[in-house]
């Protein structure tokens, strides 16, 4: 028999799954907002009438979902999420910054090169291209590494340093290259050693790869962009209705892993 204030959990599935479902619902419904501390494990164990080990199993699932993070010596907290709307024509950084994310960008490399074959095809035989490799950090945590290719004949007058900060499309528009549409595909991949190092993840970790080619009103391709998003920080959500399909992915910021902004 349950004691006062104790929650009833289903006998039809393992107890830790019932607890996981209950806690997940509280987070997703907004009952606990981002940054809100979860009750101590001992308190949760008493609430559900289970052992602390059972509670820890449920918390491990929530951690795997990117919904909570643990700060050493402080406790467990609801993770902050920033949504990237696939239907919104903005750069990654601009979309996240508009939601209040603390974006910093580190330039990993730049140079004029002959484009790889797959880039040349997507940009329509562009000649030499400017290659930019940038690392996006949210609250100091590396989450996205982007490699962008821009035809030199279109961006020869643009200072590459101006393309580091949020507002990539804005800078291009100021130089007469207004982006009006983009073709984007997203696929699952694994991180190569260089990408894993830049994202501070183990080698061969899972990631999402966004390939996006952006076009002007004259249908001229001006950017071929490859963005790798760390798999442990991405949740894809789909909202369906009879007349609408809304697809987006959310970037999870684990507060306990902040590493400070780059200089």
pLDDT, one tens digit per residue, over 244-261 is 656 555 555 544 443 332
6 inside domain: no
Domain of residue 42, CATH code: 1.10.10.10
Which residues on neighbouring strands pair with residue 230, listed in sequence order? 207
Is there a single domain that holds both residue 74 and residue 152? no
Tell me which of 115 and 10 has the higher pLDDT. Answer: 115
Query: In a 3-state reduction of DSSP, which class is residue 86?
Result: coil
36 inside domain: yes
- Give the count of domains, the chain: 2
Predicted confidence at residue 80, as pLDDT, reads 67
4 inside domain: no
Choose one of 33, 50, 78: the last residue of a domain: 78
Asked if 178 and 124 count as a contact pair (C-beta separation under 8 A), the reply is no
Is there a single domain that holds both residue 153 and residue 28? no
CA distances from 151 to 17, 100, 154 (A): 52, 32, 6
Is there a single domain that holds both residue 40 and residue 53? yes
Choose one of 78, 99, 132: the last residue of a domain: 78
5 inside domain: no
1 inside domain: no
pLDDT, one tens digit per residue, over 73-130 is 788 988 765 544 444 555 566 556 665 667 788 889 999 999 998 899 889 888 999 9
Give start and end residues of each alpha helix (H) in the chain.
15-28, 41-48, 52-64, 92-97, 117-123, 152-155, 168-174, 193-199
pLDDT, one tens digit per residue, over 13-70 is 788 888 988 998 888 787 888 788 999 999 999 999 999 999 999 998 888 767 788 8
Predicted confidence at residue 92, as pLDDT, reads 60
Tokens 């020869």 locate to 156
Predicted confidence at residue 2, as pLDDT, reads 41
Predicted confidence at residue 39, as pLDDT, reads 94
Least confident span in 3-12, 28-37, 223-232: 3-12
Is there a single domain that holds both residue 57 and residue 183? no
d(CA 121, CA 252): 34
Is there a single domain that holds both residue 109 and residue 192? yes
135 inside domain: yes
Q: Which domain holds residue 96?
A: 81-257
- Which H helix or E strand runs over 149? strand 141-151
pTM (whole model) above 0.75: no
Is there a single domain that holds both residue 95 and residue 72? no
48 inside domain: yes
Is there a single domain that holds both residue 120 and residue 31? no
> Does pLDDT of 147 surpass 90?
yes
Predicted confidence at residue 3, as pLDDT, reads 41
Is there a single domain that holds both residue 93 and residue 47? no
Is there a single domain that holds both residue 59 and residue 131? no
Domain of residue 107, CATH code: 3.40.1410.10
Is there a single domain that holds both residue 100 and residue 203? yes
9 inside domain: no
pLDDT, one tens digit per residue, over 192-205 is 999 999 999 888 88
Predicted confidence at residue 10, as pLDDT, reads 55
Predicted confidence at residue 74, as pLDDT, reads 81
Choose one of 62, 78, 94: the last residue of a domain: 78
> Does pLDDT of 231 surpass 90?
no
pLDDT, one tens digit per residue, over 172-190 is 888 888 888 888 888 888 9
Is there a single domain that holds both residue 55 and residue 148? no
d(CA 254, CA 79): 6
Is there a single domain that holds both residue 124 and residue 230? yes
């Amino acid at each position: 028999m349950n004691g006062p204030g104790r929650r009833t959990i289903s006998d039809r599935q393992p107890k830790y799954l019932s607890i996981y479902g209950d806690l997940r619902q509280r987070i997703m419904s907004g009952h606990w907002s981002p940054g809100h501390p979860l009750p101590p494990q001992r308190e949760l164990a008493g609430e559900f009438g289970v052992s602390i080990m059972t509670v820890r199993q449920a918390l491990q699932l929530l951690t795997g979902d990117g919904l909570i993070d643990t700060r050493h010596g402080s406790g467990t907290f609801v993770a902050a999420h920033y949504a990237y709307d696939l239907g919104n024509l903005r750069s990654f950084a601009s979309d996240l910054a508009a939601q209040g994310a603390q974006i910093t960008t580190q330039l990993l490399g730049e140079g004029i090169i002959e484009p790889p074959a797959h880039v040349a095809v997507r940009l329509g035989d562009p000649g030499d291209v400017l290659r930019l490799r940038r690392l996006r950090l949210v609250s100091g945590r590396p989450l996205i590494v982007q490699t962008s290719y821009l035809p030199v004949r279109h961006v020869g007058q643009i200072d590459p340093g101006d393309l580091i900060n949020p507002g990539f499309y804005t800078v291009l528009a100021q130089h007469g290259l207004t982006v009006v549409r983009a073709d984007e595909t997203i696929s699952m991949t694994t991180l190569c050693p260089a990408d894993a190092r830049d994202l501070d993840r183990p080698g061969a970790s899972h990631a999402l790869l966004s390939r996006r080619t952006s076009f002007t009103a004259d249908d001229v391709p001006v950017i071929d962009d490859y963005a790798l998003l760390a798999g442990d920080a991405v949740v894809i959500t789909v909202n369906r209705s009879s007349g609408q399909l809304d697809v987006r992915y959310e970037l999870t910021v684990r507060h306990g892993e902040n590493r400070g902004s780059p200089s």
